[in-house]
Amino acid sequence: MATLREMNEFEAERSDNTNTVTGSSLPHLHRQELDHNIERRHKAKYRRLRLVTGVLIPYALVTLDTTITATALSYIAADFKTSEISWVISAFNLTSASLIPIWGQVADAVGRHNALAATLAIMAVGSALCTSAPTSAFGMLIFGRSIQGIAVAGINVICRVIVNDAATLDDSAKNNIFVTIVTGVLYACGPVIGGQMTEKSWRWCFAIHIPLSLLGIAAVRLFVRPFVTDQLRRRHGSPLGTSNLRSALSAIDLGGQTLFLSAMTLLALALTWGGSSYPWKSARVLSTLVGGVSLTFVFILWEYMLAPGHLLSRKLPRQQPMVPWSLMKDRNFTFLLYVNFASGAAMIPPLYFVNIYFSLMENIAPSKAGTNLLYYIPGLGVGVYMAITMTQCWPRQTFSPLLLGSILEATGATVLTWAISRRRTGVIFGMMGLTGAGTGLHFFPVLLHGVGFFPSRVTSVISMIAFVLPTGSMVAITLMGTVFNSNINLPSGMIAGKSQSNVYNNTEEQHSVQENTERAISLAFMSIVPILWLSAVAAMFLGNIPINKKEDSEMERVASSPFPGYHLLMAAWQRSKDST
């Protein structure tokens, strides 16, 4: 039987009821309706708990791999006696970013729970290779990390699709809140766990993934499979992945996937090599860069030709485009991708280059400089809490957190650039927190916005959203690193990590180098500021998705979603015009 509080909550949600009815005067039929609604809520909570339990281990694998591996790099370098340790990260990033959109289409073809279980099996194989790699076979370790990257790409996109493809946007928001809290706790525990394991052996940092992967497969079969089957039956009339394998694979856009993977691989190699392993003007970097850009345009042309009524759609009628042309030409989709791309770029200054500033300018040891991240992480937490409030309480929409987050990211990075040039430590810490808050505001409202506008294209939308975030980080770190390296000239002693006092005996010479370093860091920060302000402009022209508790159709959602940023600009322009 319903409680009075639940009755009142139900009464508040009934938009078609004009009279307030107390719990004691509810008619019999009305009470039955109320009890049915409350029973539905309890079932939704139970389903949500099952869902979070099922995706918990896959998410744990991703977060733990990110945080644990970083603590083991120096030990791995010592054991393998190599200076190419950066490839442990680069090989992983290369495959984990490039394959994200591909896994999305594979999941829809063979079944999401089947694809997720496959990614966990691949993760176990990659982890076994990394764990067993002899110190004389550094290539085996790199190959294992590449395999892990393939698995993480699939885990990232498939889990997000499952979590966000709910009956209503309100359910999607609540699912995201649960997952965000869980992953936040894991991110906090990861470095501690990694430190303890590394003290025993760095191999434990990879071996831990093997039993977790096997447990994850069991959890997917037990908890996620029933949820996903209902999900797909509701969206598509029948579960995907239940037809024969040949029929399912024939729908995959193999040509588009090959072009996309080739283009992204070449671009990632160019960004990884340029300015660090090889000069930007070298033939190796230029050829990979030109080849990557060219294949990107060919990929876009391929997807255009697969659109209904075009040449390839007639030649290959069963194939479904990896990124439908209707999405590519949609202004809201394009702007949303750029906003998330800029969020990836906004993460780089606090995570990497602020540490460089404190190490070179304030003469703080790199190990201690890393503690300054403590000012960034609480900012992320505040941003996530604000996003929860804006999507669950007021104003229950996606436009507000996206616009506010973009403005905070741009403002934080701009003032951070000024604070670096003036060496204002307190302002630097404050702007790290402000930038983190802006990024936190984007964490799941970006996904809700994409799902709200394109509920029938959930997999494609989430795949591209997940892809552009690490791409933004990769572009930002390359851009900032190039600007920094081209404007600084440090002696080998400082680059090796020695203090400035050990390198320079001449105070005047030391002061000159400090000014040079300060200028290089400031210019590096300044190089990404235009990217972030352009994101704020793009966010102004996004549509608005109300977070409803009812299940709306795609057309109803879009019809109720004007471009509020545009109207806001027009209102401000009209007001300024009237005042003059």
Q: What confidence tier does 21 reach under pLDDT thresholds 50, 70, 90?
A: very low
Assigned CATH class of 330-580: mainly alpha
Most confident of 265-274, 411-420, 555-564: 411-420
DSSP lists the bridge partners of residue 278 as 274
Contact partners, residue 516, CB within 8 Å, separation at least 6: 487, 488, 489
The greatest distance separating any two alpha carbons of the chain, rounded to the nearest whole angstrom, comes to 91
Q: Which residue has the higher pLDDT, 59 or 362?
A: 59
What is the arithmetic mean of pLDDT over 344-349?
A: 88
With beta carbons less than 8 A apart as the criterion, state whether 545 and 449 touch: yes
Q: What confidence tier does 170 reach under pLDDT thresholds 50, 70, 90?
A: confident
Q: Which residue has the higher pLDDT, 550 or 217?
A: 217
CATH among 1.10.287.130, 2.40.10.220, 1.20.1250.20, 3.30.559.10 for 28-249:
1.20.1250.20
Would you tell me the crossing angle of helices 112-132 and 100-110 to the nearest 10 degrees? 130
With beta carbons less than 8 A apart as the criterion, state whether 347 and 470 touch: no
pLDDT at 291: 96
pLDDT above 90 for 154: yes
- Which 3-state string (H, E, C) describes 285-329? HHHHHHHHHHHHHHHHHHHHHCCCCCHHHHHCCCCCCCCCHHHHC
pLDDT at 181: 80
Q: What confidence tier does 215 reach under pLDDT thresholds 50, 70, 90?
A: very high
* Angle at the Cα of 302 from the Cα atoms of 100 and 323, rounded to 5 degrees: 35
Q: Fold match between 28-249 and 330-580? A: yes
Q: Which residue has the higher pLDDT, 377 or 261?
A: 261
What is the arithmetic mean of pLDDT over 481-504?
A: 59
Among 55, 64, 127, 101, which Cα is nearest to 470's? Answer: 101
Question: Could you report the per-residue pLDDT of 320-345, keeping only the tens digit for each?
Answer: 899 999 999 998 999 999 999 999 99
What is the arithmetic mean of pLDDT over 193-205?
A: 84
DSSP lists the bridge partners of residue 397 as 546
pLDDT at 126: 96
Q: Which residue has the higher pLDDT, 509 or 289?
A: 289
Q: Which residue has the higher pLDDT, 320 or 383?
A: 383
Q: Which residue has the higher pLDDT, 484 or 192?
A: 484
The answer to which of 199-203, 329-333, 417-421, 527-531 has the lowest mean pLDDT is 199-203
pLDDT at 569: 63
Rounded Cα gap, residues 396 and 200, in angstroms: 48
Mean pLDDT of the chain: 81
pLDDT at 98: 85
pLDDT above 70 for 38: yes
Q: What confidence tier does 284 reach under pLDDT thresholds 50, 70, 90?
A: very high
Q: What confidence tier does 241 reach under pLDDT thresholds 50, 70, 90?
A: very low
pLDDT at 11: 46
pLDDT above 60 for 500: no
Question: Could you report the per-residue pLDDT of 501-559, keeping only the tens digit for each?
Answer: 444 455 666 677 677 888 888 899 999 999 999 999 999 999 888 887 665 544 444 44
Taken as a whole, the chain contains a residue count of: 580
The answer to which of 27-36, 165-174, 387-396, 411-420 has the lowest mean pLDDT is 27-36
pLDDT above 90 for 251: no
Q: 395: cis peptide before it, omega within 30°?
A: yes
Q: What confidence tier does 7 reach under pLDDT thresholds 50, 70, 90?
A: very low
Q: What confidence tier does 138 reach under pLDDT thresholds 50, 70, 90?
A: very high
With beta carbons less than 8 A apart as the criterion, state whether 295 and 255 touch: no
With beta carbons less than 8 A apart as the criterion, state whether 325 and 399 touch: no
pLDDT at 48: 75
pLDDT at 565: 67
With beta carbons less than 8 A apart as the criterion, state whether 10 and 38 touch: yes
Among 402, 338, 437, 416, which Cα is nearest to 545's? Answer: 402
Give domain limits for the chain: 28-249, 253-319, 330-580
